Amino acid sequence: MFKQRIGLPVLGTSDWNNDESLLGSKDVLPTVYIEADFYITDEQKSDVKNMNEQDIRNYFFGLGAMRLVLSEVSKGNTSRNDLNESLESLKNYEAPFNIITLINRTNHSLRIMKFQKGALEKVGDFVY
């Protein structure tokens, strides 16, 4: 983000997606900006409300991955090599949890979120 001249503090821990961890730090840090490779909305969570947090994340990662693979297969990429070549040039694929832009086998798209006053909201997307 620094290279892109975005002057905002990026704070947080790997526990940003843990409600207890966020709520516990809201008095110390009233506003926290977080970047992550996924963001699941409350509406999406309500569709799978009988699952725990880890299962919800796994569900949406799996759903997004399967939709992506099936989308590529439906375009005629049916061999391993065709699928690999197609995925290597993937840009701006909208998955349920993030936008996927693959560069060197790594997703270079992040969700930028803000935690303020006990609420987590998506601010935007950032591709690096």
> Is the full-model pTM beyond 0.75?
no
10 versus 102: which is more confidently predicted?
Answer: 102
- What pLDDT band is residue 42 in, cutting at 50, 70 and 90? confident
- What pLDDT band is residue 45 in, cutting at 50, 70 and 90? confident
CB 69 within 8 A of CB 83: yes
The share of the chain scoring above pLDDT 90, in percent, equals 30
Is 2 a member of any domain? no
CB 107 within 8 A of CB 36: no
Is 72 a member of any domain? yes
- Where are the extended beta strands (E) located within the chain? 31-36, 93-94, 99-100, 102-103, 106-107, 109-116, 119-127
- Residue span of the structural domain in which 76 resides: 19-127
CA distance 53 to 43: 14
pLDDT computed for residue 6 by the predictor:
59
Is 24 a member of any domain? yes
Split into its structural domains, the chain has a count of 1
Average pLDDT value over all residues in the chain: 83
